[in-house]
Amino acid sequence: MSERAPLLKSQRSLDHELVNQGHMACPGCGAVLAMRYVLNVLGPKTIVVLPACCWSVISGRHPASALNVPLFHTAFETAAAVATGVRGALDARGDSETHVLAWAGDGGTFDIGLQALSGAAERNEDIIYVCYDNEAYMNTGVQRSSSTPPGAWTTTTPAAQPEDRDKKDIMGIMAAHRIPYAATAAIAYPDDLMAKVKKARDTRGMRFLHIFCPCPTGWRTPPDMTVELARAAVQARVFPLYEVENGETWSLTLEPEGRPIADYIRAQGRFAHVDDQTIAQYQSATDRRWDQLMKRMAQGC
Amino acid sequence: MKQLLMGDHAVSRAVGLARVDFIAAYPITPQTLIVEELSEMAARGDIHTRFVKVESEHTALAACMGASMTGVRTFTATASQGLLLMHEILHWAAGARTPIVMVNVNRAIAPPWNLWSEQTDSLAQRDTGWLQFYCENNQDVLDTTLQAFKIAERTLVPAMLVLDAFILSHTTEPVDVPEQAEADAFLPPYSPRHILDTDAPRAFGSITGADDYFELKRLRHESMRDVLAIAAEVDADFETRFGRGHGLIKPYRCEDAELVIVTSGTTSSTARAAVDALRDQGRAVGMINVRLFRPFPGELLARAIGSAPKVAVIDRNLCVGLGGIFAQELRADLYGRDVRPEVFGFVTGLGGGDITPASVSAMAGHALANTPPADNAPIWWK
């Protein structure tokens, strides 16, 4: 995991940054990179709807703001609902140009916000919904969510009784709503990520992006490992990069090497208690999920 | 033009006249007629409204908040459990200063299931920062809906207006419906002050310390108190234009009264008939309809009660362990004023039980003949 990232096309966008310096994220936060890449594609004509999540704090304390776009803080479970209203009002005012970006964490998406998200997806609301996934309730101090992977320590899944359920298949759920566009992305692959944001930007209707964002604070990893961990997750097929159009066309956007997941697991303090035998089980489970994904790629839906 | 309208349809017509830009709603009995009629109006092209049929009341209000923050006139309607589900967003919408107008059709709260009239649903939201009107008849419903938009948009305090389940929502009465041009002249398009705008990007609701937080809360209190004067002004303007006003409270035959009955909603019409009958019998009884509940019009009530030694509050609602909520509010407000009548708190008609001229007369007779329970306990009147 020591390879150097190639020069990024995304670096060209630095002259019109929409994420300011001086934000309030922890050092090495993956979610800040994700916001930066997404906003740099969507541009200044974007309204952000932000439910309770790490970004509620990252965005800064009143009257400062870390974003150069309008931002509305809202209740935990209402990202998709409030975005529905913002879109409706823009439409009523004849503004079809401005993008509405609902920006929620995994807790606000997989758990408490799932009903509103499902409603918006079913109605095919013309919004872009991003779930930045750091695999637990990090803002409240690392509690498990239904996105927390098996074996992970959190403050509510202590090492003596770690998380024992698979991550909820949020992409499967969103694909089942037959929305025009859904994709996974990871902050280690900004060109792939930004290409997907562009595709989302140029599609109308409900768009869903599931962005993998390692969290040094919650994962018990050094802050300078964040990008490499995201890359390791993708290459180990833990977090494959793909897109789904209309719930039917599934396509891989990056062929992972299929590295053993042991390297990915061993690099993180949250898995420190996990033994080799258990890692072997996780490897089997990862392989099984990958095979299922490949079947979907081949068959559609 | 006078038309025969059910209470729910009077709401729908007013929402159409108000040229609402955005509606989000979820069905719940007995509110459903409102959104059904609005759907028909939208389908016919009578109104040009973005109408989102959402998956819950919680989302309905959250979506209205997003739309209002983006600068358009918004409306939703609900009842009972639906209003309770909205509770978190009631606070948020008020804190975000979004002038949403919402109609709540009062309905009892489960368990057990009961779909009939009771005011506990809306009164339980009294601390959420919404102004609250209680409507007496279908004309009041239509007129108050129009007025509510104007008051909410001037004060940036969201407005809830309340009508009794079935007794108003599903009862047909003649209603004078203004012409569109008259409504437009009374209620010009919403001109928002601070919205989500990409040309002037701002963050709304960012984390604050105690100082800013305290000041924002205090300003909300000031705005809510301002509603008393602005609502009176809007009602006076309405009266000038349409020949009818409703007042924030409506006293009736209170002069020289030994007993003043305080009621709200449709019970006020019943109580007015009872007062006439009691006056015919030579009993010095008056009544006051409380139309505006939040902000509480304590000064107006104290003045209308005047020197009457007794007040009987009729509550079709219950704060469990304390009693009727109008009685509680009135007692709290009178404390420390010069006017210190004995206050009888009657709790009656829960779950849609009938309140009749005879039962109101009986409660009045009880109050005239007795002293209130020493501990302000509710008087249960089945």
Rounded CA-CA distance B69/B192 in Å is: 9
Q: What is the domain range of residue B262?
A: 249-381
Residues B26, B50, single domain; the answer is yes
Residues B215, B191, single domain; the answer is yes
Residues B237, B257, single domain; the answer is no
Question: Which residues of A, range 170-199, sit inside 8 Å of B by Cβ?
Answer: none
Answer with the one of B242, B265, B296 that is the final residue of a domain: B242
Which of A70, A82, A115 is facing B201, going by the closest CB pair?
A70
Using one digit for the tens of pLDDT, what is the confidence trace for A94-128?
Answer: 999 999 999 999 999 999 999 999 999 999 999 99
Nearest Cα to B129, choosing from B85, B164, B163, B96? B96
Residues B78, B18, single domain; the answer is yes
Residues B324, B208, single domain; the answer is no
Give the amino acid at A17: E
What sections of chain A are H helices per DSSP?
A: 30-42, 54-58, 79-92, 106, 114-122, 170-176, 190-201, 216-219, 226-235, 261-266, 276-299
Shortest Cα–Cα distance, A91 to chain B (Å): 8
* Residue-level pLDDT at A1: 44
Nearest Cα to B40, choosing from B17, B13, B62, B69? B13
**Which domains are delineated in chain A?**
13-299 (3.40.50.970)
Using one digit for the tens of pLDDT, what is the confidence trace for B172-183?
Answer: 999 999 999 999
Give the amino acid at A166: D
B131-167 burial by CB neighbour count: b if 16+ within 10 A, else e?
bbbbbbbbbbbbbbbbbbbbbbbbbbbbbbbbbbbbb
Rounded CA-CA distance A186/B256 in Å is: 78
Helix, strand or coil, per DSSP, at residue B174: strand
Chain centre to alpha carbon of residue B156: 17
CATH number of B367's domain: 3.40.50.920
Classify the C-alpha dihedral A27-A31-A33-A36 as positive or negative.
negative
Answer with the one of B227, B242, B257 that is the final residue of a domain: B242
Using one digit for the tens of pLDDT, what is the confidence trace for B184-220?
Answer: 999 999 999 899 999 999 999 999 999 999 999 999 9
Question: Which of chain A's residues have a Cβ under 8 Å away from the Cβ of B56?
Answer: 115-116, 119
Where is pLDDT greater, at B242 or B374? B242
* Contacts for A7 with CB less than 8 Å, ≥ 6 apart: none
| Cα–Cα distances in angstroms (integers) from residue A269 to residues A151, A260, A276, in the given order | 11, 18, 15
Bridge-based pairing state of the strands B292-294 and B131-134: antiparallel
Cis check for the bond before A44: say yes or no (omega within 30 of 0). Answer: no
User: In the predicted model, what is the mean pLDDT of residues B3-11?
Assistant: 98
Q: Is the pLDDT of residue A137 over 80?
A: yes
Residues B175, B40, single domain; the answer is yes
User: In the predicted model, what is the mean pLDDT of residues B126-148?
Assistant: 98
Q: Is the pLDDT of residue A10 over 70?
A: no
Residues of chain A with pLDDT > 90, as a percent, come to 92
Rounded CA-CA distance B363/B118 in Å is: 18
Rounded CA-CA distance B165/B134 in Å is: 12
* Residue-level pLDDT at A7: 47
Residues of chain B with pLDDT > 70, as a percent, come to 100
Residues B190, B282, single domain; the answer is no
What sections of chain B are H helices per DSSP?
A: 7-17, 32-44, 57-69, 80-85, 87-95, 120-123, 138-155, 180-186, 210-242, 267-280, 298-305, 325-334, 357-369
Question: Which of chain A's residues have a Cβ under 8 Å away from the Cβ of B70?
Answer: 47, 85-86, 89-90, 93
* Residue-level pLDDT at A3: 53
Mutation target among A82, A87, A122, A139 for the B interface, most CBs of B within 10 A: A82
Residues B172, B219, single domain; the answer is yes
User: For residue A9, what is the DSSP state?
Assistant: G
End-to-end Cα, chain A, rounded Å: 33
Number of domains chain B is built from: 2
Rounded CA-CA distance B131/B149 in Å is: 11
Contact B350, B118 (CB under 8 A): yes
* Contacts for B376 with CB less than 8 Å, ≥ 6 apart: B323, B327, B331, B343, B345
Q: Are the beta carbons of B196 and A72 separated by less than 8 Å? A: yes
Bridge partners of B25, per DSSP, are B53
Instruction: Kindly indicate the confidence band of residue A9, based on its pLDDT and cuts at 50, 70 and 90.
Output: low
CATH number of B126's domain: 3.40.50.970
Give the amino acid at A6: P
Helix, strand or coil, per DSSP, at residue A272: coil
Q: Which two tokens stand for residue B50?
A: 């973005």
Rounded CA-CA distance A119/A129 in Å is: 13
Cis check for the bond before A63: say yes or no (omega within 30 of 0). Answer: yes
Question: Which of chain B's residues have a Cβ under 8 Å away from the Cβ of A115?
Answer: 55-56, 59
Q: Is the pLDDT of residue B129 over 50?
A: yes
Bridge partners of B12, per DSSP, are none
* Residue-level pLDDT at A15: 59
Nearest Cα to B131, choosing from B292, B308, B254? B292
Contact A115, A77 (CB under 8 A): yes
Q: Is the pLDDT of residue B116 over 90?
A: yes
Q: Are the beta carbons of B205 and A73 separated by less than 8 Å? A: yes
Q: Which two tokens stand for residue B55?
A: 């998956």
* Residue-level pLDDT at A2: 46
Residues B192, B307, single domain; the answer is no
A97 touches chain B (CB under 8 A): no
Contact A136, A157 (CB under 8 A): no
Question: Which residues of A, range 272-291, sit inside 8 Å of B by Cβ?
Answer: none
DSSP H or E stretch at residue A130? strand A128-133
User: In the predicted model, what is the mean pLDDT of residues B6-21?
Assistant: 98
Instruction: Report residue A258: phi and psi, to 5°.
Output: 75, 40
Using one digit for the tens of pLDDT, what is the confidence trace for B69-88?
Answer: 999 999 999 999 999 999 99
Average pLDDT, chain B: 97
Instruction: Kindly indicate the confidence band of residue A192, based on its pLDDT and cuts at 50, 70 and 90.
Output: very high
Nearest Cα to B163, choosing from B111, B105, B220, B109? B105
Contact B40, B164 (CB under 8 A): no
Q: Is the pLDDT of residue A12 over 60?
A: no
* Contacts for A203 with CB less than 8 Å, ≥ 6 apart: A180, A181
User: In the predicted model, what is the mean pLDDT of residues B128-133?
Assistant: 98
* Residue-level pLDDT at A299: 86
| Cα–Cα distances in angstroms (integers) from residue A203 to residues A37, A199, B9, in the given order | 18, 6, 39
Residues B40, B186, single domain; the answer is yes
Residues B212, B80, single domain; the answer is yes
Contact B250, B304 (CB under 8 A): no
User: In the predicted model, what is the mean pLDDT of residues A120-138?
Assistant: 98
Which of A57, A62, A72 is facing B69, going by the closest CB pair?
A72
Instruction: Kindly indicate the confidence band of residue A14, based on its pLDDT and cuts at 50, 70 and 90.
Output: low
Question: Which residues of B, range 65-104, sit inside 8 Å of A by Cβ?
Answer: 65-72, 74, 88-89, 92, 96
Using one digit for the tens of pLDDT, what is the confidence trace for B296-337?
Answer: 999 999 999 999 999 999 999 999 999 999 999 999 999 989
Answer with the one of B242, B274, B302 that is the final residue of a domain: B242
Residues B81, B126, single domain; the answer is yes
